[in-house]
Structure formats: C-alpha cells, structure tokens
Amino acid sequence: MPTALVTGATQGLGRALAEALAVRGWDLVVTARDAHRLTETVSALREHGHDVVGLAGDVSDAVHRDDVAGVLTGPAGADRLDLLVHNASTLGPLPLRPLRDLSTDGLAAVLAVNVVAPHALTCSLLPALEAAGGTVLAISSDAGVEHYETWGAYGASKAALDHLTLTLGAEVSSIRAYALDPGDMRTPMHQAAFPGEDIGDRPLPEEVAVPGILALLASRPANGRYRAADLLAATSEVVS
C-alpha cells in the first residue's frame, strides 16, 4: 500500500484529504496539535481498514518533527514515503492586520509554521521520498501570488513555501513536487480569516480541492504550481 503523511489532518482540507486517501487504500501518518481531535480522526480513518498512525504536535516543534520522521524512517518504518502533504498552516496573528502593525515575532511565527517546518520535514524525509519516487505536495494559496491587504505575512509564507517546494523539485529528479492552490474553502481557517461573515458560499474541501488533488496524484504532471479548480475542470473535460 502507498503511504502518505498529511500534516494538520484533523479538520478542513487535511481531514478531507486524509479521508479520501484512506478510502483509496493508502496507509497514513497524520498530525495535528489537538490530541483529542487527532485520536478521533485516527479512529475514523482506521475504519477504512488500513494502517493509520497519529502523532500529536506542532509542526514548528523540531522534536515533534523528529518523532514524525522516525515513524517513517526509524526501525519500525518502511523507509519509503509516497506522498508528503504540507497542509498544516497558520494565518498568523488574528485579526489579520496591515504589515505596519505586524510584529517581528508575529511574522517569524508564521514563517516557522508555514515555511521552516515544511522545509525541515521534507529534508528529513527526502531519502524515503526518493526511495518511493514520491511526491511532495505543498498546500499553497492564491495569497502567495496576489497581494491582498492584511494577508502579507501569510501570503509571503505561501510564496516562500511554493519556491522551496518547486526548487526542490528542480534539484531532486526522482520525486515530483507540487504547490497546490486549493481555492477558497469552507473551513475553520477560512472562518477565522473572515470572523462573523457567512462563508456558506465557499465550497467544502471535498467539493473542489480534494478532487483536484486526487486528479493531480493520478496524472502526476510535471512539477509546478497548480490550482485545484483547474485540475478538476481538466478532469471533467476528459470525462465529457
């Protein structure tokens, strides 16, 4: 069975993607900070009959990252990883604020979670990814390309994540590397960005983002930055 590591898999896109992979026979390693929600998530994923390991912790914590890498590469690990999904992410200090009001510590915290942690985890797991001819999938955002007021720290972190991911793809020919813009999604993070706003018109992760990612994994196109909506539209064109 192929194995995937999904960070931040207890709600929103990470949870929906982990569920979709479990249904399709993937073994999973999943993470998040809230141990209670993680236990519930692992139980639900195991109902699909495949191996699921949950590790509670913050991706910006180096000790936690070592534990995660150890599950896959330690004595009990297979030393192979087919898919690494960098999904866990932070918006930074809320409410979102103009750059002039963003503290240095606030910016550093965003970069620690959204940029430094994925890079470190990728490096730890690179031999396992290479052994499997695996895929690194960085969950990006349109904020990494556009310049929305108050989204500067988050947007800069996603631009940096894209750049690191696609540079890795250029450096390591045996793996695939993608930055994936999932589009707006009706999730707790999106609600946190728009407090008090009705976000009911945004699609759930399973409606566009997850099918787009599944299409990406199935077709394994050239390394690059992709939008879930485009991937899904291309799939529909092939079918119709």
Site string for ligand NAP, 136-155 (x = CB under 6 A): ---x-x--------------
Window contacting ligand NAP (CB under 6 A); options: 2-10, 102-110, 129-137, 221-229: 2-10
Position of tokens 């994925």?
A: 118
Nearest Cα neighbor of 7 from 63, 69, 51, 78 is 69
Q: Is 154 a known active-site residue?
A: yes
**CB closer to ligand NAP out of 11 and 150:** 11
Window contacting ligand NAP (CB under 6 A); options: 21-29, 56-64, 66-74, 216-224: 56-64
**CB closer to ligand NAP out of 118 and 169:** 118
**Candidate residues 28, 53, 59, 96; the one interacting with ligand NAP per rule CB under 6 A:** 59
**CB closer to ligand NAP out of 175 and 228:** 228
Minimum gap (Å) between residue 173 Cβ and ligand NAP: 26
The number of beta carbons lying within 10 Å of the beta carbon of residue 135 is 22
**Candidate residues 135, 165, 187, 223; the one interacting with ligand NAP per rule CB under 6 A:** 187
Beta strand 3-6 pairing with 52-56: unpaired
Site string for ligand NAP, 33-52 (x = CB under 6 A): xx--x---------------
134 forms part of the interface with ligand NAP (CB under 6 A): no
81, β-bridge pairs: none
> Which residues are identified as catalytic?
154
Binding site for ligand NAP (CB under 6 A): 7-14, 31-34, 37, 58-60, 87-90, 113, 139, 141, 182, 184-185, 187-190
